[in-house]
Structure 1
């Protein structure tokens, strides 16, 4: 039963400053017994700045520094960064590092919605991804991926008991309600725990950000496979630590039949 820490924060525009923040928050989560420490999408640098000049490969200095932080605390760290892609774009990548692992997941579904066009600067990924920690399979998804139930069901088919969803959710009328609804719906769709870790609301700390960019609303949330909320945060930077029971995912799937009874 892995203990997972969600570190809700507001990223800076400086990757170096964000490394210091990741080190501090990883230490805090590890001190509470977390085996997996999850940070939001765009932890390397928040949206609203040019991403291509910041992008680094998974074997670059930023990712290596995060790996060293994970190794220091004997945890797996999952954090959003940007890696180079073709044609001057970047990949919106989840860095997964620690416990002998070092890899990335490229966000599949790009946020061309609500007046924002992520695909102008970001290239899509194409492959779902899972990782295994202490015998428990964890799926990976990023922010806008949350709107696509087939991805979560594919991760469940691949053995995931839980899905980690780093995000930088866009603000706006009804967006917080959609965020919670989608987290709980994807949990029910797949029978997985869904652990959604968002960027904190910049207004909660008086941080000035690009008003046109999706820079977070906070309200990180955890739902189990029955759609029940098992933990949530407010708008400000904060830490949420949750114990994930993989057996409950199997119980949820058996009760709802959502995977076994699919016909399309």
Structure 2
């Protein structure tokens, strides 16, 4: 299965972001899965920026663009948006199938109340409900950014059948942050024997370093900090082989504790 991660920095202009996404996707062909970052519809902006005012419904212009592009490419596209509600918005991933239909939504469970920031003051958390979907021969589990710091999230996705994790993110830059990002992505791959495909926002505010790790935790492709496409071939056979050699999931004894 051919995968492409689109690393880009979103702005506070939703229309400009859509134009930029369309430009980035235009040359792609042959992909089965395309992943864009968290909040690529509209950046978080400063802490006093009203995300409720810019949030969109699931039939709004952002999802409409992704639907058209997924249908044109014949690929599944996963991307992050702020989803309108009657109160605080959700931080939502939408997965558009190759037919252009909405295949899945995942509303971020773990809001980023950490490193001196409180995402929960601006957004609402989704229900604790793991989301997986089929993409080609693989079952893909969805998580967003800060979810990566919670290993139980990966376990829940694996128990729901995931053979790959897709992780859109806006991983804020700072001391230790790239090291944490790379280490946590590799750890989630190793402990769950899954592929991990992480698309982060780049630019000065975010860490970039979108990457693909195989089920052994080896980074097979990685971006730097700017605008970049990362392409890799991932296969379910690699998951099966790693689980035969390293059957740690089958050897678990603590699932019910």
Q: TM-score, normalised by structure 2?
A: 0.92
* 8 Å Cα contact 1:223-1:229 kept in structure 2: yes
* Structure 2 partner of 1:97: 96
Which portions of structure 1, spanning 4 or more consecutive aligned residues, are displaced by more than 3 angstroms? none
* Structure 2 partner of 1:57: 57
Match of 2:134 among 132, 137, 140: 132
What whole-Å deviation, never above 9, does each CA across 1:122-155 have from its counterpart, x for those lacking one? Answer: 1111211111122321111100011111111221
Superposition pairs for residues 35-54 of structure 1, below 5 Å?
35-48=32-45, 49-54=49-54
* Structure 1 partner of 2:6: 7
* Structure 1 partner of 2:112: 111
- RMSD value, Cα: 1.3
What whole-Å deviation, never above 9, does each CA across 1:56-102 have from its counterpart, x for those lacking one? Answer: 1112232112211221222211110010235x211000111132340
Count of matched residue positions in the alignment of Structure 1 and Structure 2: 248
Superposition pairs for residues 75-86 of structure 1, below 5 Å?
75-86=75-86
What whole-Å deviation, never above 9, does each CA across 1:143-183 have from its counterpart, x for those lacking one? Answer: 00111111112212222211110000011111110000000
* 8 Å Cα contact 2:198-2:211 kept in structure 1: yes
Secondary structure at the aligned position of 2:26 is classed as: helix
Unaligned runs of 5+ in 2: none
Secondary structure at the aligned position of 1:171 is classed as: coil
Secondary structure at the aligned position of 1:65 is classed as: helix
Distance 2:217 2:37 in 1: 21
Unaligned runs of 5+ in 1: 204-214
Secondary structure at the aligned position of 1:137 is classed as: strand
* Structure 1 partner of 2:232: 242
